[in-house]
Structure formats: structure tokens, C-alpha cells
Structure 1
Amino acid sequence: MNKLFRILPLAAALGLAACGGADKGAVASDASGAASASAKDNSACGTLAADEICVKIGSGAPKTGGIAHMGKDNENGVALAIQEINAKGDLVIGGKKVKLALVGEDDAGDPKQGPIVAQKLVDAGVVGVVGHLNSGVSIPASTVYANNGLVQVSPSSTNPDYTLKSSKTPKGAVSAYRVVATDAQQGPALAKFMLAHGGKNVAVLDDATQYGKGLADQVASSITAGGAAVVSREAATDKTTDFKAVLTEIKAKNPDYVFWGGMDDTAATLVKQMRELGMTAKLVGADGACTDKFIELSGAAGKGVICSQAGMPLSQMAKGTQFNTDYEKAFPGQKVQIYSPFSYDATFAIVEAMKLANSTDPEAIAAAMPKVSFDGLIGKIAFDDKGDIKGGAISIFEVKDKLEVAEIVK
């Protein structure tokens, strides 16, 4: 990938975002790149030159609620990619110069909102979607995208079912893709780490979401397969604020580790209450809990927590330092959480497929996605026949004053 370009301030970045007013239905264009009737609302692109066409890329993420910081981070990554491409000004499809626009929708991290948001993005005339953050939202939304011939590339949905059970487009193309490793890799990697570091008795707790439960099940089965004991297997919810009853039961089992399948806001509450109860077991979380926000929310109680991210850490990405600088310049007061580098590359994956197809027709983009292969910010971007990224890594961290890399599993 070419080097990152100068990034505009936040207000300018999000000034690209608009829902548009296209008629219902997927965007389509002929091979010459002329936009169809369903994409004629170009207001999202602002002023267009005479030789430009407006092409919209969607983003679905939680921008309200307890994990809004993660959703905004995902959308910011899309905004940075779009700014870079537009600044370079050399994207030509079917003989027409293309100006990209971001159409962002808030799914609130709610599975029921997934299909609703997906339909809004379809109606807005997007040619592809980067999203969603949560597996539990990505999975129901994926059917809407597939039925309308759109590619969906998630930067952060790790539940294996997202790609394994997704529908295909009307013309038979794979619709659901991801640029992160799956929980079939993440769960066993965390279990192996616990087993290698004194984990003989492990309690497993989840937030009852598709993401949390699926990941916790992977951890529990891997712990058992590794010869250790799962001494407690419980569930809370992603809205739980008082864990003390279940923690009291877990404490009596004297586990070495407590695994939490859930997000950073609830993980912070959980570890604080563990320490209030005098529990000495280490808390282990996965990518949903492995953020700077967790460190901020958990305070001293969070020190020593083990967590993972489904990808390489930003510090070890070849252009990670430049990305971080550009991000903080574009979005003052905000820090990279986890997956903005991944949503950045997911955006480039859609654009690369557009270039390979030489078309802005969503079905043509979907048909070209299996051929996508480029060196991205996060590493090599290429997909297997299910839509999963090839060669995804798992990074394991220990929480100190910041997230410090403990191990990388490739």
C-alpha cells in the first residue's frame, strides 16, 4: 500500500458522511462506470467535478451505548482510508474518476438493529459495507447485504459463524468477508496461554451474546482438551453491572483464571468486583476487552489482566506509527482503540475489488473480491474461499500502564 497521505481534521473527515436519499435497492453501474438511477443522489460527495462520479461506501458500527468508543474507532478507520484515496485523486473506474463518500450508520451494538441498519445502507446506494463491529450484529445484517448483492467486510467480527453460515449474493458470490482472525483461533490461543502459565482450574463466564458465548465456548473446550478443569461455566449479560453473586460462586471454586467473554466496559466492572471480593485469580479477556478504554475504566484493578486481539498490534505494523499520528491529527482527543487499522484495510479491500472489476456494480465487486491481494497496513490482505483472511494472527497482551505484548500466535 502507498504511504499514508495527510489527513484532514475530524470535522472535515466526518463531513463526508451522509445517509443519502437513493431509491431502495443496491447501487449498480454499467462497465463504463455511469451510475444507475439508484445512486444518483450525490450529496454525500459534496461538489463533484464534471468528470467525477460519486461512489458511496457504508459503515455500520455502534456509535451510541457502552461500546460507542469502539464503533466510532471503526468508522474513523473507514474515514481515513476514504480521505487518503480522495486526496490522491487517481481512482478511475470504467473511465470515470471516482470520488468516494462515507455513509455511516449507528447500529448501537444491537443485533435487532443489524438488519435495519443494513437496509438503510442498501437504500443509501452504497457499493459495499465495512462492518459491523459485533458478531451478533454482523451475522443478522449479512443476510440483507447478501440478498442485495453487496460485499460486507467486517474489521472485527470474530465469531466463525459470520462467514461459515453467511448467504451468497443473487449471482452466487461470497458476500461476507473479514480482515481479522476468528475465535476458532483466538479461543484456543488464550486457553493455551493459560495452560502454559499455571492454569489448572479455570472459570469461564460470558455476556450471552453471539460473540461472548461463542468465544467462551471455544476457550472452555480448549481448556478441557488441554487437560485442565473448567470449574465454573456461567453467563451474565452485556448489560450486567453487578457480578458479585456469580463471582461469589466462582470464588468458592478457587480458579487460577477467570475468562470473560465480553466487552471492555463490562470487563472493567467485572475485574473491579473481583478485587473487591478479594479474588486473586487473573482475569482473561479477548479482543472486546483489550482496549485502552478498559485500562481507563478498570484503573488499578485492571493491572495484570491478560487479553488478546485478533491481529497484529499497531506497534508492530510497519506503518503503524504513521497511522497513529494521522489518526490523532484527524480525530483530536481520540486514540486508536483496536480495529480502526482493520477497518482502514477493509475499505481498501472493497476499493481494490472495485478496481479489479473496473466497475462500481456491487455484484461485480463481490465477484472480484476473491482475487483481492495487497500489502495492507495490518499485513497481507487476501481471503480464503469462506471469506476469512488468510494467515490471521492473535496477539496476547498483559495490562500494565498500557497494553504490553506478551505473545504473538501466527
Structure 2
Amino acid sequence: MIRIAPVGRALAVVAATSLALTACGGGGSNTATQTSPSAPASSAPAATKGDGTLTLGTLLPQTGSLAFLGPPEFAGVNLAVKEINEAGGVLGKPVQKFDTDSGDTSTNIASQSVDKLLAQKADAIIGAASSSVSESVIDKIVGAGVVQFSPANTSDKFTTIDDKGLYFRTAPPDKLQGRVLGDLIIADGNDTVGIMAMQDSYGTGLADQVQKTVSDGGAEVVERVDYDPKAADFSADVAKIKAKNPKAVVLIGFDETQKVVSELVKQGMPADKVKWYMVDGNMSNANYLKMPKGTLEGVKGTYPGAASPEEFRTKLLEIDKKLTDFSYAPESYDAANLIALAAEAAKSDAGADIATKLGEVSKGGEKCKNFKECVDLLKAGKDIDYDGVSGPVEFNEAGDPAVATIGIYQYGADNKFNAAKALEYRTGNIAG
């Protein structure tokens, strides 16, 4: 179903939430950064109005195939909440935050976590990182009248999903990353390409866009394998790619890519003979450090997001000294700030009210770059345009960023890429 345009979005949310017969139940601590305790699903019916305190929930990976993305995402949210509360909070009160684990699609952790957050009267939930996980819980979240705001979902499905006007994201849809990756493959002189993609909304959607871009650019996708990421063995899948002898292989997946890489090497398709290309889902520096040095040397990959400024990285390290990866930290930081500013603009912490103001605070007004600067303008009666660390973040009618940046990275002989500095950054219009 096509998403509802701004005015219709607001009406749809009001209509949906007015049907709720009971208020959101469940108690809990008032500590702003405490993880929420357990609560049964039955204690979290839909809320109809705010209670004057902005409560954020995080639904981010502490376990599962994207657990490597958890630390920078949590750090980004925590930094934003710290700065927001230091600036006086939202609606005159400190922001509350409750953290939960999103897990992955092999478990029911995300659904249980959402129940906990709804029981804690979350007005907005930041997450999940995985598109498939978000897809599995979006109905429960928006059905409760709560904003779902992902810093990392890239599946194109969310552009047209039936979300009651309550879903937003700071990460760009895969059609932009797919175009950038496809263009890169062509520019590198590859006229025959193999694609190995995990079979889910993220993998197949991104593979479709890469395949289209490569084909439009005059190259041929000689073989494409959409595989089960839970498979114990990928030898037959890799053999299909090898049989077509492509010059380049695109690997679209999560941490199972480690097994695929090992199989490529085993079957005589190492990175120094066949060009490998990766994507944000499998570009973890931690994944490949135990492999022989040079295994990934020269491998290129794409990652949504502009460069993280050094000052921002320094602040993140004050939040989490163990951080080695800053992926999606800017998007997470911006998500929390935008929700808080929308609540201020709406003079309400209710999810439906926040949703109607997210587009407004992201474009068309006086530019500002942090919560304190922006909220001072709001209190002075000014219209604002929040330009975030991750980019301008101007939402279109679908709740997607209208313009976004994709970084192109390259692995060295140590099987790592420099997450703080890309080979280049390419900025494009999502609809282009």
C-alpha cells in the first residue's frame, strides 16, 4: 500500500489512535538511561495521548547477525539524549530512555522487546537496524500510535509500507546504495558480474537495484544466487557463480558472508583474481580479522552515510570507550534529536503529534545543527531546518531522507577498512 501523504498521514494516525479503548499500561523507573524491565504484551495497549514526558525506546542489536552495529547505534542515541537533557530536556522534562535488544529474524526477541517498550509508554522507538526485523514489528509499533524511527533500515519496502504515517528513517533506501555500487562496478571495468545475496527484504531488494544498474550500464549479470543465510554450507551456491566465470562478485548479506568468502577462496576465486564488492550489512571489520592477511585486500564496499566528523567521534568515545566502529552512529544520533525537536515543535510527546512535525523540523526553516541550537530557535518562534551529522536529513512524503550520501570504502592487507574515511563519498537524490 502506498504511504499516506503528510495531511492524510496525520488524519490516519488520529483515526487509528482514537479507536483505542484503554491507555498504555506498565510502570517502571524514571531513570533516563535505564534498560526497561520485562512486561507482558497484554500490559501495552495503544496510547492515545502523551503524558508530558518524552520517552524513547531503543530496539537495536545486542545479539544476532548485526550485533556489530549495536555499539555505535546505542552510543549515537545515548550521546543525543545526554545533550538533550543537558539543554533542559524536552517539554521542560528530562528525556527517558529504555534500551532493548532487537536480535535478528532467527528469534522472537524483537517482538518481546517491543512489548516491553510499549509497556514503558515509549512515544518513539529507535530501531531496528535490520530491515527484516523492522518489518516483523512495524504493525505492532505503529498500531500502538508510536513512532518507529530506524537509523539503519535500507529496504525499499518501507517507502510504500502501510505505516499509518508513523515510520521514518535516517538511512537511505537501497535504491541509492544499489545505484552507487552498480556504477562503481561498471567504472572498475567489470563487464561480467555474479551476485550472491541473502534471501530477505534487504538482500533481494539491494540485489535487484545492483542488477538493474549494472545491466543499464552495459555489463551482464551472468549469475545471481539468492541464498538462505542460515545454510550451513555455501559450496553449491559459490559453484554456480564460479561456473559463469564473472570478473566481479557482489556479496550482499550479513555475518554469514564470512563463510561465503572462505568458500570463494577455496574454489579458486580469491579477491586478487576476482573483484569482490560488499555492502553495509557485511562490512564489519571484526568479521574478517581472523582470516589470513590479505584475504580482503583491495575489496571495495558501500556504506550509507557521510563522514563522521572527528569531533563527533571523540564525543562518542566519551560515551563508549570501546567503540572501534562508528557505523550508523550519526544516523542514530540524528534520529533521537529529530524526535526530540518534533516533540518540542508539536508541544506534545504523543507519537501521532511527533510524526506530524518530523518533516517540518527537517527542512524549510532556519538551519541549525544540534538540539540546543535548534530548540532555542523553536522557543523563539522560529521555523527550523535541522541539518544532522549524517547529512541534511530532509524527509520526503514517504518518511525517507530525500537526499543521502553513500561512502565507498576499500579493505587493506590487514582485512580492515578505514571506517572514518572513505575512498570517496557520493551524494544523490533518492528519487533520481
Same fold (TM over 0.5): yes
Q: Is the contact between residue 372 and residue 383 of structure 1 (CA under 8 Å) also seen in structure 2?
A: no
Give 3-state SS (helix, strand or coil) of 1:393's partner.
strand
Deviates more, 1:328-337 or 1:345-354: 328-337
Partner of 1:196: 187
Partner of 2:347: 358
Distance (whole Å) between structure 1 residues aligned to residue 33 and residue 161 of structure 2:
36
Distance (whole Å) between structure 2 residues aligned to residue 166 and residue 297 of structure 1:
43
The alpha carbon displacement at 1:114 in A equals: 4.1
Q: Is the contact between residue 166 and residue 351 of structure 2 (CA under 8 Å) also seen in structure 1?
A: no
The alpha carbon displacement at 1:282 in A equals: 1.5
Of 153, 170, 185, 1:179 maps to: 170
Change (3 A) 1:348 1:221: same
Partner of 2:294: 300
- Deviation string 1:102-148 (CA, Å, 9 cap, x unpaired) is 21221212275544433332222111011110111112322222211
Of 137, 140, 144, 2:140 maps to: 144
Q: Percent sequence identity over matched residues?
A: 27
Change (3 A) 1:20 1:269: closer
Partner of 2:149: 153
Partner of 1:67: 66
Partner of 1:408: 425
Question: Structure 1: which 5+ residue stretches go unaligned?
Answer: 1-12, 36-52, 169-173, 315-319
Partner of 2:121: 125
Of 230, 243, 257, 1:239 maps to: 230
Amino acid at match of 2:424: E
Distance (whole Å) between structure 1 residues aligned to residue 323 and residue 243 of structure 2:
41
Partner of 1:10: none
Task: Indicate the RMSD between aligned Cα atoms, in angstroms.
Answer: 2.3
Change (3 A) 1:330 1:235: same
Distance (whole Å) between structure 1 residues aligned to residue 69 and residue 290 of structure 2:
14
Distance (whole Å) between structure 2 residues aligned to residue 151 and residue 29 of structure 1:
13
Give 3-state SS (helix, strand or coil) of 1:360's partner.
coil
Of 35, 38, 44, 1:24 maps to: 44
The alpha carbon displacement at 1:164 in A equals: 1.4
Partner of 2:25: none
The alpha carbon displacement at 1:243 in A equals: 2.3
Amino acid at match of 2:84: I
Partner of 1:340: 329
Q: In the alignment, is residue 109 of structure 1 matched against residue 104 of structure 2?
A: yes
Partner of 1:220: 211
Distance (whole Å) between structure 1 residues aligned to residue 322 and residue 409 of structure 2:
24
Amino acid at match of 2:417: K
Partner of 2:303: 309
Give 3-state SS (helix, strand or coil) of 1:309's partner.
strand
The alpha carbon displacement at 1:287 in A equals: 1.2
Give 3-state SS (helix, strand or coil) of 2:95's partner.
strand
Partner of 2:89: 91
Give 3-state SS (helix, strand or coil) of 2:152's partner.
coil
Q: Is the contact between residue 130 and residue 153 of structure 2 (CA under 8 Å) also seen in structure 1?
A: yes
Q: In the alignment, is residue 207 of structure 1 matched against residue 224 of structure 2?
A: no
TM-score, normalised to structure 1, is 0.82
Amino acid at match of 2:256: T
- Deviation string 1:46-97 (CA, Å, 9 cap, x unpaired) is xxxxxxx653201112211232121333222211211221223x2341xxx2
The alpha carbon displacement at 1:268 in A equals: 3.0
